[in-house]
Amino acid sequence: EQSKLSGSLFHSRPAFVSGSSVTQPIVHRAMPLIVNTAHLRHEAVTKHTWSPNKDTVRYQAAGSATYKDDMFAHGDTADTPHISEYTMSHKDPQEWAERTRSMTLVHTGGNTNMAEYTHHTVSRPKFPPGSISTGTFTLSQYLPAEDKAVEELHIVCEKVMPVLPMLLKALSGYHLHSPDGWIQSAGFMTCCRKVGLELLRSEFLALERSVPKDTAGRINYHNIASLVEAVTCANAADDLTATAPEALLKATA
């Protein structure tokens, strides 16, 4: 019988037609093919900037060393991303040109993640009123009388001053092809270690942000020398300076 055929698409079932039993075939049709477009709705395709949010770390093992349930809730999601030149939005394109021209936008190369971890901030704050700013030179005007950055700078200058002649000699012999004084931060730190001067990163940054840079981000060690000499002379002339050696001795006594 047709109903006993195995593997057939035709299965018999009784159908009642005018009081008599008639075998009626049923055809099992395959489901139509549907184009899978789920990958087109993925976050990496629909967004211009990828940010790891809860949806993208869903399949990460909870027992792994890098897993933390709240790891992206503090400001790295799509709603509150990190401030960078890719996530900031200016309506007028001229604002981008102005920020780049005034050097308030810091992104010299590489990707955004590297810039966030190698610079202080991706976007510099605006300088105080009275500052002199050109394309290659910035002279900051510090308005407040009590400025922690100035105090830190004075302490660093007091540390650099004893070895300044040896440091200048080492710096002048470091770049034979660039005798005009412009030097990268790595070369400056190498010369500091060569003369026995161990500067912390924060101490070097206190010096670095007090002198102008060129378009390649280099500092001029002649400007560093002038800065250290000027600050040290001001501290020696003014006994009331908080960072003067005698004032520090009184504070520690």
Residue with tokens 């990460």: 60
Tell me how far apart the alpha carbons of residues 186 and 219 are, in angstroms, rounded to a whole number. Answer: 11
Q: Please tell me which residue, 207 or 128, carries the higher pLDDT value.
A: 207
Residue 166 lies in a domain: yes
Percent of the chain with pLDDT over 70: 38
> In the prediction, which pLDDT does 148 show?
79
Beta bridge partners of 83: none
Q: Is residue 168 part of a domain?
A: yes
Give the chain's length: 253
Q: Which domain does 217 fall in, by range?
A: 148-252
Domain assignment present for 232: yes
The token pair at 154 is 């004075």
In a domain, 161, yes or no: yes
**Residue entry with tokens 């075998």:** 23
Q: How many CB atoms lie within 10 A of CB 210?
A: 22
Domain count, the chain: 1
> Residue type for 8, please?
S
Residue 12 sits at φ, ψ, to 5 deg, of -90, 145
Side-chain half-sphere exposure of 246, counting CA atoms within 13 A: 7
Residue 196: pLDDT above 70? yes
Beta bridge partners of 132: 139
Residue 132 pLDDT level (bands cut at 50, 70, 90):
confident
Give domain status of residue 6, yes or no. Answer: no
Q: What angle do CA 148, 153, 158 make, to 5 degrees?
A: 130
Lowest mean pLDDT among 6-20, 56-70, 152-166, 171-185: 56-70
CA angle 175, 176, 181 (to 5 degrees): 50
Query: How confident is the model at residue 76, as a pLDDT?
Result: 45
Indicate whether 36 belongs to any domain. no
Locate the DSSP E strands across 73-228: 132-133, 138-139, 182-183, 219-220
Quick one: average pLDDT of 188-211? 93
Give counts: helices (H), strands (E), the chain.
9, 6
pLDDT value for 75: 45
> pTM for this structure?
0.40
Q: Is residue 161 pLDDT above 70, yes or no?
A: yes
Tell whether 229 is covered by a domain: yes
Contact residues for 233 (Cβ-Cβ < 8 A; gap 6+): none
Residue 90 lies in a domain: no
CATH number of the domain enclosing 152:
1.10.238.10
pLDDT bin (cut points 50, 70, 90) of residue 16 is low
CA atoms within 13 A on the CB side of 37: 4
State the DSSP H helix or E strand holding residue 157, giving kind and residue range, or none if neither. Answer: helix 148-160
